[in-house]
Amino acid sequence: MIDLYILVLCNLLTFALIGWILSLFTKNVNLVDSMWSLFFVVASITCLVSLDTSSSRHLAIATMVFIWAIRLTTHLTQRNWGKPEDSRYQVIRKNNEPYFKYKSIYIIFGLQAIWAAIISAPLIASFIDVRPYSFLDKIGLLIVLFGIIYETIADKQLKKFLSKKSNKVMDQGLWHYSRHPNYFGEFLVWWGFYLISIGSGYWFTIISPILMSILLLKVSGAELLESTIVNRRPGYKNYIKNTSAFFPWPSKK
């Protein structure tokens, strides 16, 4: 697995380099958001090409990765298209001037590639595993599919709400049961992929869903978003009191 892992890492770093070069022309690193899910497409293709023979199980895993990635990258690209650099990156840029455009090769793009390589562990383990379908594989694939559908619905509901340009708080649909249903869907996707990898025997792949959960909850996801949204939407404090932060649960109101 080590040789394949190194090959995947090299290809991810190459992909990151291409993204960084493009960012020099656009003078905007938002591109890395659209690239995030595509890192896993690169990892999956690398694994598939490296296999002597691919089974229907391998193709099913790759298909799920492709569906998840294309959906997410399309959503993020549409969201960021024509907009100025995200406030997260503006802060990073300000803190790393002068020459941020050069430093971003490792601060932004290289770091994303390394995160993606770590999180890809269950995918790599699943691709090198040549056993036939197991019960856990089928359950894992169903969880991944449900997670994709769940986050797609959540994103569509939020997009429709934001199009109204209201200062109110989105608390309808899936957002009535969780403040971050899109992140919960993402959470399901990666725990589903981990479940598929269990039969490979590579126990350390659990680092992937744990790391993704931390990122979603504490680093670049829910907590970071809520640190600013409270000031922008007056009713959000009440929303926090009444609605589960992450896992879907009936509202208190």
**pLDDT single digits (tens) 50-108:** 988 889 999 999 999 999 999 999 999 999 988 899 888 999 999 999 999 999 999 99
Q: Are 12 and 116 in contact (CB under 8 A)?
A: yes
Last residue of one domain, picked from the residues 101, 130, 159: 130
pTM beyond 0.95: the answer is no
4 shares its domain with 124 = yes
111 shares its domain with 142 = no
Asked whether residue 225 carries a pLDDT value surpassing 80, the answer given is: no
pLDDT in tens, 21-38: 999 999 999 999 999 999
249 shares its domain with 140 = yes
pLDDT in tens, 106-146: 999 999 999 999 999 999 999 998 888 899 999 999 999 99
What average pLDDT does the structure give for the chain? Answer: 92
Q: Which residue has the higher pLDDT, 169 or 142?
A: 142
Structure confidence at residue 221 (pLDDT): 62
Compute the distance between CA of residue 26 and CA of residue 23 in angstroms, rounded to an integer: 5
Q: Which spans in the chain are helix H?
A: 2-26, 31-50, 56-80, 87-95, 100-104, 111-119, 121-128, 135-162, 181-197, 207-214, 222-232, 236-242
| Residue range of the domain that includes 217 | 136-253
6 shares its domain with 104 = yes
